[in-house]
Chain A
């Protein structure tokens, strides 16, 4: 056989894709998905506004870097497929296998193995690997194990979408935001993957937590010839939150206002509407949140102190800066997503009176199993010995939806709580005293287990009636609730090397009721660390469409020495609709860390960077007097 290959000109990045608009890159065209959001009419505002500010911001690809690379073991025959591996979403994998093998769901079994982190990277790709392994197993008539090494994993699997945002804002004399126009663009790569949904979340966060009567958002995902981009913690929102926060920082400079002051004048309040016209029914105290962050970080004092010190800094004195970002994260699936999912989760009581939590939501290091156990214990009134969490196995647990979108505690935890309350009510009907102590509840469970062993209590998710979403026109309630946050980064830049050291980080957020303080703080600390990597270090180097730095020695993530003390502070407004008013937390910290870091760099450098990661190679020229320039 003779193969002749003719290399065609490739589209290898977003700038090229947007400049060339080539129709031959993807069957859907150069733009694989477009979303528009419109509120009011910005057009007449531009000419009459006191100030108009324009900005352009870019962000690079980011690798999830879960602990173990993708891996899957498969057994397959004519009538069955079984796989086990490192994954976030067992029922997604089952769905993919059913489609490929033409088997009904009962004959396809997916079991989650211990999984060390996902960050979105184990959401979609495990289906691909499961199919590969299962096809080989079917052909070979033997079990097949496929485990990528790190270089293969980095080369092939989807990363965070690179982005380029062009934006414009109009302000009145007092710095009030009058109109906003955001042109938000993502690099989809060569295949569509989860790109439309990522684009959607990005577009829905593009106006930030600010009140504005006239908004246009145009969001487009562009096809290129690189490996596809996909889900990564934050899911489009880190890119658009970065862009709006950069725009506000630029506006503050142009208007001669402190960046914090400009934000305080424009924060969304209860009763306001978002860009999609969603009325903020829940109680919001963004002003209190921002003031708490400013106080805990000593922002105002530091801002003045650093301005003085930087003005007289010697050639080797660090240049310091402090910066604020204010942001939100929509909790759970976008729009009608949760309604379509109609997740199911619950409990099973065994013959010994031990309660098992049944959910397909996976423990991937974030603490899902602990939270489920804790919620169940709380609702039943028993201690932890009485409650186990079942291994996610499609043969055994109902479909509680994917472990994504910061939805596990809020949505699935809510179902588990309802199931536990139903079981408790049944125990009370059996004769359990309403004020029974844990030992009495455990006795009641054992008794009921003896007669009702194997009994299940399964709850189905029902979206509240008031959530109304118009997918066609992007109007209405984009998310049932939002988490809110204000982050402050304090950093020092070494003028000899352009290296940035984040020295302090203050993360203040309202995630509704905090179900487990230790795990919630862990989510914030880990997310801030990942956000600092996104802001300052993590740089996927593409060479002819391939990731060139595909090793842990060349794809640089922060070590403990590269990270500051991270202070996570929670203001609890129990307005969420999860257990006792909880909201989602997992993705939130990714949205605001990079903009806080870049805002602090503005002050340290007296100059503006509009791309992440902000590497020493870009920073150093801003610090070097012309005389000694190379």
Chain B
């Protein structure tokens, strides 16, 4: 049964302060940013009657600017604007890749980075990249502002640390991310696809091993950061068959599911293969003995 527009009540505040005030008064309000998730649920009837808080008029959420050694991307910035921004192009190529591979061009013009994070889909395309880059979220309510590392944001399937009266206002990314970077989305086809598996990684060699962040989409109830694997690589990278052991460790620890898009076995194997692809590149990029 399709949704009925008459069942929707829309609030469209003109400022962030007004939005936070409305949310404080009515924490049941559903936040509408690009609408690429909510309007699909409205169309198929699963949203039902709802009160919506439409953030589309808030210019303060649509800015990209430098703050110290970080780049601040407003939560309302869409994928198309991310792809076009000179600082993102020059310094965060992984994010450009993720934005290019999200939906069709029309979706890229509507969908927002903040919405992608808040929606907390385990298949979100941009989130593994954001986790690998070590993003901090700026969260605001009427009375308080706090900064939360992205990897502490996802609690369980579609459940987040966002409080009912809070909005994500911006994402903070390092302007100088680590030099070794990898992203690969494996979708159901080459465009306009939802991911079966995606892996993003960013890191650098240290005297002990490989210091990196590795994150995966579509293999767990949440976008997954692989901390045990990272700990292994930090000390074992470069020793013996370390790449194969790392892949084995990753695959053994994953509990993906069979669903409409793929199988658990495929997801586990591809996650291992993509990790190996990253590690082979990392190995090739390791400073030689002479260069140390």
Contacts and interface: CB of A to CB of B under 8 A. Distances in A.
Interface of A: 149, 151, 315-316, 495-499, 501, 537, 541, 548-549, 553-554, 556, 558-562, 616-617, 620-621, 624, 627-630
Given A496-B274, A628-B272, A617 B186 contact: no
B2 interface: yes
A630 B265 contact: yes
A430 B207 CA distance: 100
Interface residues of B, number: 31
Interface stretch (B67-75, B148-156, B163-171, B187-195): B187-195
A150 B245 CA distance: 46
A315 B284 CA distance: 14
B273 interface: yes
Interface stretch (B26-34, B231-239, B255-263): B255-263
B247 interface: yes
Contacts of A554: 188, 194, 260-261
A541 B188 CA distance: 14
20 contacts: A315-B276, A316-B277, A497-B186, A498-B270, A499-B186, A537-B189, A548-B260, A558-B189, A559-B190, A561-B190, A561-B191, A616-B196, A624-B269, A624-B273, A628-B247, A628-B248, A628-B272, A630-B251, A630-B265, A630-B272
Chain A interface, DSSP helix/strand/loop, else mixed: loop
Interface of B: 2, 44, 184, 186, 188-194, 196, 244, 247-248, 251, 260-263, 265-266, 268-270, 272-274, 276-277, 280
Nearest to A563: B190
A58 to B, nearest CB: 18
A315 B2 CA distance: 48
A630 B190 CA distance: 25
A617 B262 contact: yes
Given A497-B270, A498-B266, 5 more contacts: A496-B277, A553-B194, A559-B191, A617-B265, A621-B269
A620 B188 contact: no
Nearest to B273: A496
Contacts of A496: 184, 270, 273-274, 276-277
A497 to B, nearest CB: 5
Contacts of B244: 627-628
B263 A617 contact: yes
A621 B192 CA distance: 26
Specify which of B44, B190, B265 lies most central, judged by the most chain A CB atoms within 10 Å of its CB. Answer: B190
Contacts of B191: 559-562
Contacts of A541: 260
A629 B269 contact: yes
Contact of A620 (B44, B260, B269, B276): B269
Instruction: Report the 7 A-B pairs with minimum CB-CB distance, sorted nearest first.
Output: A561-B190, A496-B273, A630-B268, A561-B191, A617-B266, A556-B188, A559-B191
Nearest to A618: B266
Contact of B269 (A315, A537, A558, A630): A630
A103 to B, nearest CB: 34
Contacts of A628: 244, 247-248, 251, 269, 272
Contacts of A624: 269, 273
A562 B189 contact: yes
A559 B268 CA distance: 26
Nearest to B197: A497
Contacts of B273: 495-497, 624
A562 B260 CA distance: 20
Given A316-B280, A630-B272, A620 B186 contact: no
A97 to B, nearest CB: 29
A620 B189 contact: no
B97 to A, nearest CB: 15
A560 B194 CA distance: 17
B1 to A, nearest CB: 10
B262 A151 contact: no
A556 B189 contact: yes
A500 to B, nearest CB: 11
A374 B274 CA distance: 55
A16 B280 CA distance: 46
Given A556-B193, A630-B272, A549 B262 contact: no
A501 B262 CA distance: 18
A620 B270 contact: yes
Nearest to B256: A630
Contacts of B272: 628, 630
B266 A562 contact: no
A496 B186 CA distance: 10
A620 B2 CA distance: 39
Contacts of B184: 496
A549 B190 contact: no
A366 B104 CA distance: 27
A63 B247 CA distance: 38
Contacts of A548: 260
Contacts of B196: 616
Contacts of B247: 628
A151 B193 CA distance: 18
A405 to B, nearest CB: 31
Contacts of A556: 188-189, 193
A549 B189 contact: no
A186 B194 CA distance: 32
A498 B272 CA distance: 13
Contacts of B248: 628
Contacts of B189: 537, 556, 558-559, 561-562
Specify which of A149, A495, A499, A549 lies most central, judged by the most chain B CB atoms within 10 Å of its CB. Answer: A499
B2 A149 contact: yes
Contacts of B2: 149
Nearest to A151: B44
A496 B249 CA distance: 18
Nearest to B258: A617
B269 A616 contact: no
Given A554-B260, A630-B272, A620 B190 contact: no
B260 A549 contact: yes
